[in-house]
Structure 1
Amino acid sequence: MLKPRNIGAYRDLFVLFTKYGRKDFRLNLSAEDLFAPSVESEAIESDVKARAEAFAQALQKMGPTYVKFGQLLSTRPDIVPQEYIDALEKLQDDMPPFSFADVEHIVEEELGVRISKAFSEFESTPLAAASLGQVHRAMLRDGREVVVKVQRPNVAEQVHKDLEAFTDIARDLERHTDIGRKMNLVASIEQAKLAMYSELNYLQEARNTETLRVNLASFPQLYIPDVIHDFTSARVLTTELVKGRKVSKLTPLALIENNYAALAETLTRAYLKQICVDGIWHCDPHPGNVFVRESDGKPEIVLLDFGMVARISQEFQDEVIKLLLAISSNRGTEVAESCVRMSQTRERFDAVKFNRDISTIVAAVHDSSPRSINTGQLMFNVIAIANNNELIVPPELTMLAKTLLHLDAITKKLDPDYDPQRVIRGYAEDLLGAKLAQKFNPRNLYPALLDLNQLVLDLPHRAREIIDMTAAGRLTFGIKLSQAEEFLSGIHKIANRITVGVVIAALLISSAMMMRVPTSFRFFGLPGIAVLGYVAAAIAAMYLIVSVLKRDREDRERAKLKGK
Structure 2
Amino acid sequence: MRRHIHLKRYRQIVNTLAKHGFGFLVDQLGLGDLVSWARRVKAEEKTRLSGGARLRLVMEELGPTFIKLGQVLSTRPDLLPRDVIEELARLQDQVPSFPFEQVQGLVEEELGQPLAELFRSFDREPLAAASIGQVHRAELATGEAVVVKARRPNVERVIRTDLEILFDLGRLAERHTLWGQFYKFSEMAEEFARTLKQELDYTAEGRNADRLRQNFSGDPTVKIPGVYWVFTTDRVLTMEYVEGVKLSDVEELERRGWDRRLIARNLAQAVLKQVLLDGFFHADPHPGNVVVLPGGVVAFLDFGLVGRLSEERKRQFVSLVLGLVRRNSNHIIRAVTEMGIVGQEVEMQAFKRDVDLLRERYYDVPFGQIRLGTAISEILDLAFRYRLRIPTELTLLAKALITLEGVVRELDPGLSIVAIAEPLAHTLLRRRLVPGMLTRTAREWALDYGGLLLDLPRKLDGFLDKLVTGDAILKLEHQNLERAMSHLDRIANRLSFSLVLLAFSIVTAGLVIGSALGADRGRFFFWSMPVLELAFLLATLMVAYLIWAIIRSGRF
TM-score by length of 2: 0.69
- 1:114 aligns with 114
* Mapping for residues 24-63 of structure 1, pairs under 5 Å: 52=53, 59-63=59-63
1:153 equivalent in structure 2: 153
Aligned to 2:44: none
Q: Distance in 1 between matches of 2:433 and 2:297?
A: 30
Residue 165 of structure 1 and its aligned partner are, at CA, apart by 1.9
SS in 2 for 1:423: helix
Structure showing greater relative contact order (alpha-carbon pairs closer than 8 Å, 6 or more residues apart): 1
Distance 2:283 2:429 in 1: 22
Corresponding position: 1:91 with 2:92: yes
Q: For residue 205 of structure 1, what is the aligned residue in structure 2?
A: 205
1:229 is displaced (CA, Å) by 0.8
Does the CA-based 8 Å contact 1:247-1:413 persist in structure 2? no
- 8 Å CA contact 1:291–1:303 kept in 2: the answer is yes
Aligned amino acid, residue 353 of structure 1: A
Contact 2:75-2:396 at 8 Å conserved across structures: no
Letter in 2 for 1:152: R
The code of the aligned residue for 1:245 comes to V
Cα shift at 1:151: 0.8
Judged with a 3 Å threshold, the aligned counterparts in structure 2 of structure 1 residues 99 and 76 are, in CA distance, closer, same or farther, namely same
Tell me the equivalent position of 2:494.
none
1:119-268 pair list within 5 angstroms = 119-181=119-181, 183=183, 185-251=185-251, 254=254, 257-268=257-268
Q: Aligned with 2:302: secondary structure? A: coil
Report if aligned partners of 2:77, 2:85 keep a CA contact under 8 Å in 1.
Answer: no
User: For residue 381 of structure 1, what is the aligned residue in structure 2?
Assistant: 378
Q: Counterparts in 2 of 1:448-527, with a 5 A limit?
A: 483-484=474-475
Taking the aligned partners of 1:342 and 1:102, their CA distance within structure 2 comes to 46
The change in CA–CA distance for 1:482 and 1:189 in structure 2 (over 3 A counts) is farther
Q: Given that residues 49 and 84 in structure 1 are in contact (C-alpha distance below 8 angstroms), is that contact kept between their aligned partners in structure 2?
A: no
1:168 & 1:244 partners in 2: Cα distance? 45
Q: Given the alignment, which residue of 400, 408, 411 partners 1:411?
A: 408
Deviations 1:133-179 (A, max 9, x none): 11100001111100011111111221121122223223333443344
* Corresponding position: 1:277 with 2:277: yes
Instruction: String of CA shifts for 1:298-354, please: whole Å, max 9, x gaps.
Output: 111111111212223222221111112212332233212111112222221211111
Classify 1:444/1:339 alpha carbon distance in 2 versus 1 (closer, same or farther; 3 Å): closer
Q: Indicate the SS of the match to 1:392.
A: coil
- Given that 2:77 and 2:384 are in contact with CA atoms closer than 8 Å, whether structure 1 keeps it comes out as no
In the alignment, is the contact (CA less than 8 A) between 1:336 and 1:358 conserved in 2?
yes
Which stretch shifts more, 434-443 or 132-141? 434-443
Any idea what SS the aligned residue of 2:314 has? helix
Contact 2:368/2:419 (CA < 8 Å) preserved in 1? no
Q: Matched residues in 2 for 1:4 and 1:332: separation?
A: 55
SS at 2:98 equivalent: coil
The 1-side partners of 2:360 and 2:11 are apart by: 44
| Matched residue, 1:355 | 352
Count of paired positions: 449
Q: 2:507 corresponds to which residue?
A: none
User: In 2 relative to 1, CA 257–237 (structure 1 residues): closer, same or farther, beyond 3 Å?
Assistant: same
1:386 Cα deviation after fit: 2.0
In structure 2, relative to structure 1, the CA distance for the partners of 1:306 and 1:160 (3 Å cut) is: same
Q: In the alignment, what sits opposite 1:42?
A: none
Please tell me the residue identity of whatever aligns with 1:101.
E
* Structure 2 unaligned spans of 5+: 24-47, 482-552
Identify which of 318, 326, 331 aligns with 2:328. Answer: 331
Provide Cα deviations, 1:240-299, integer angstroms capped at 9, x if missing partner. 1000122223338728943322333333333333223332222122221111121xxx11
In structure 2, the residue matched to 1:28 is none
Distance 1:293 1:370 in 2: 31
Task: Measure, in 1, the Cα distance between the counterparts of 2:309 and 2:324.
Answer: 20
Residue aligning to 1:34: none
Q: 1:438/1:428 Cα in 2 relative to 1: closer, same or farther (>3 Å)?
A: farther
Give the Cα–Cα distance (whole angstroms) in 2 for the partners of residues 55 and 485 of structure 1.
40
- C-alpha separation in 1, matches of 2:451 and 2:339: 31
Q: CA deviation at 1:389?
A: 1.8
Distance 1:49 1:258 in 2: 43
Provide the rounded CA distance (Å) in 1 between the counterparts of 2:435 and 2:21.
Answer: 46
- Cα 1:136/1:391, change in 2 over 3 Å: same
The equivalent of 2:312 in structure 1 is: 315
State the distance in 2 between where 1:430 and 1:365 align. Answer: 25
Quickly say closer, same or farther: Cα 1:259–1:99, change in 2 above 3 A.
same
The 1-side partners of 2:143 and 2:256 are apart by 36
Task: Rate the CA distance shift 1:437–1:274 in 2: closer, same or farther, 3 A.
Answer: farther
Q: For 1:403-436, what per-residue CA distance to the aligned partner results, in whole angstroms no more than 9, with x for missing partners?
A: 2222222222322333212222233322323343
Residues 1:19 and 1:449: Cα distance change in structure 2 (over 3 Å): closer
| Cα gap change, 1:186 to 1:360, in 2 (>3 Å) | farther
Q: Equivalents in 1 of 2:157, 2:307: separation in Å?
A: 23
Evaluate the alpha carbon distance shift between residue 347 and residue 444 of structure 1 in structure 2; reply closer, same or farther with a 3 A threshold: closer
State the AA in 1 paired with 2:111: L
Q: Within 1, Cα distance between the matches of 2:124 and 2:98?
A: 11
CA contact (8 A) 1:122 1:139 kept: yes
1:396 aligns with 2:393: yes
Q: Which residue of 2 aligns with 1:101?
A: 101
Task: Calculate the TM-score normalised by the size of structure 1.
Answer: 0.68
Please say if residues 408 and 415 of structure 2, whose CA atoms lie closer than 8 Å, have aligned partners that are also in contact.
yes
- Is this contact kept in 1: 2:283–2:400, CA < 8 A? yes
1:175–1:259 distance in 2 versus 1, CA, 3 Å: farther
The residue number in structure 2 matching 1:539 is: none
Q: Which amino acid aligns with 1:71?
A: Q
Tell me, in whole angstroms, the C-alpha distance in 2 between the residues paired with 1:232 and 1:189.
Answer: 29
- Superimposed CA distance per residue, residues 32-61 of structure 1 (whole angstroms, 9 cap, x where no aligned partner): xxxxxxxxxxxxxxx869994x86566444
